[in-house]
Amino acid sequence: MSTATTNKLMFALWGVDASALRDGALHDALAAAGVQRLQLNLDDADVAPALRIPTGEPIAAVVSAWSGSAPAIAELLGAAAARVAGWRVDEHRRLDPPEVADGERADALANVAVLRKPAELENAEWLRRWMVEHTPIAIRTQATFGYLQNVVVEPVTDDAPYVSAFVEELFPSAALSDVHAFYGSGGDDAELGRRIETLMASVARIGADRDLDLVPSSRYTYVLGSGR
């Protein structure tokens, strides 16, 4: 496994004002709350054709913050969303996404998968299956050029639902409308079928064939305050 970064907070947002989340005034307030880096994953018009899988009301945004006061961040994000839930995570960077200029949209379909460990699996076995066995299969069978795993350590808001982990995967923008671009199968239908079959068998072993939220997004990153 890769070395984990432990000062990361992730928040799921519903009923989002996307323009407010990108506003400089909010970013200044987050910097004052101790946030040094900010990432916004917004389910917006740019990813409208993409597949979504909700378990309830669809998640409209996932916000990541490095350092800072979790209660203060949640309160500030609440001004731009109807509901906010947050978790502290250990981040494992398995495939680093390319750097993008501050505040610019990454040229990608950025999927965020919300995973929940099946009750029948012990945590250590689930982590082994996911992080040791499944990860290389996922990277090998898809056109992924960014892959980050975020293992939940603890909830940081009172009403945070049960979540075990968040996976961030970046795909070429063409994957929004081209399944071959998503799986990297080069237009070969037989290869596409083989990749899907291999991936789905591995997905089932970690229980991600159920109780999964899949949030397609546009990805923006910012350096704030003392992180500059």
Look over the chain and give the mean of its residue pLDDT values, rounded to a whole number.
95
Residue 151's nearest CA partner among 99, 201, 93, 202 is 93
- What is the pLDDT averaged over residues 15-23? 96
User: What's the pLDDT score for residue 5?
Assistant: 54
pLDDT band at 4 (very low <50, low <70, confident <90, very high): low
SS3 90: strand
Is residue 38 within 8 A of residue 63, CB to CB? The reply is yes
149 pLDDT more than 50:
yes
Residue range 176-200, pLDDT digits in tens:
999 999 999 999 999 999 999 999 9
Question: What pTM was estimated for this model as a whole?
Answer: 0.94
Residue range 196-223, pLDDT digits in tens:
999 999 999 999 999 999 999 999 999 9
Structure tokens at 181: 């671009």
pLDDT band at 156 (very low <50, low <70, confident <90, very high): very high
Q: What residue spans define the domains of the chain?
A: 4-227
Residue range 56-68, pLDDT digits in tens:
999 999 999 999 9
Distance, CA of 209 to CA of 141 (rounded, Å): 16
Work out whether the CA dihedral 203, 8, 63, 153 comes out positive or negative: positive
- What is the pLDDT averaged over residues 138-149? 97
Domain 4-227 is found in CATH 3.40.50.2030:
no
Taking the CA atoms of residue 183, residue 54, residue 132 and residue 42 in that order, the dihedral angle to the nearest 10 degrees is 70
pLDDT band at 1 (very low <50, low <70, confident <90, very high): very low
Distance, CA of 197 to CA of 119 (rounded, Å): 24
Beta strands in 67-115 (DSSP E): 81-95, 109-115
Residue type, 43: D
